[in-house]
Amino acid sequence: MKSRRRPGEVRDAIQAFLTGKPEGSIREIQRAVEQRFGQVPASSVRSSLQLSDLFERVGRGRYRLAKR
């Protein structure tokens, strides 16, 4: 049985990956999250990118940290 991630773990992993980078593709972000946790559903990564105000879409399949 696969363990569920605590709320915010995927979001925090994405934020850590994008810190210091201008942007990243969904594929790069997915790989970085999986390196940290093992297998993670792609839907969890996409949801975190779309629902969090920490990230902004800069093009098709490309995200960066939102400017504050």
Query: Which range marks the domain in which residue 14 is found?
Result: 9-65
Mind listing the pLDDT tens digit for each residue in 15-33? 999 998 999 999 999 999 9
**Residue 2 falls inside a structural domain:** no
**Residue 1 falls inside a structural domain:** no
Q: Identify the CATH number of the domain in which residue 35 sits.
A: 1.10.10.10
35 CA to centre of own chain: 12
Token pair in block for residue 17: 């990956």
**Residue 31 falls inside a structural domain:** yes
Domain count for the chain, please give it. Answer: 1
**Residue 35 falls inside a structural domain:** yes
**Residue 4 falls inside a structural domain:** no
DSSP 23-66: -EEHHHHHHHHHHHHS---HHHHHHHHHH-TTEEEEETTEEEEP
Task: State the pairing for strand pair 62-65/55-59.
Answer: antiparallel
What's the rounded Cα separation, in Å, for the pair 32 and 25?
11
Better pLDDT: 2 or 12: 12
**Residue 15 falls inside a structural domain:** yes
**Residue 22 falls inside a structural domain:** yes
Kindly report the pTM of this predicted structure. 0.88
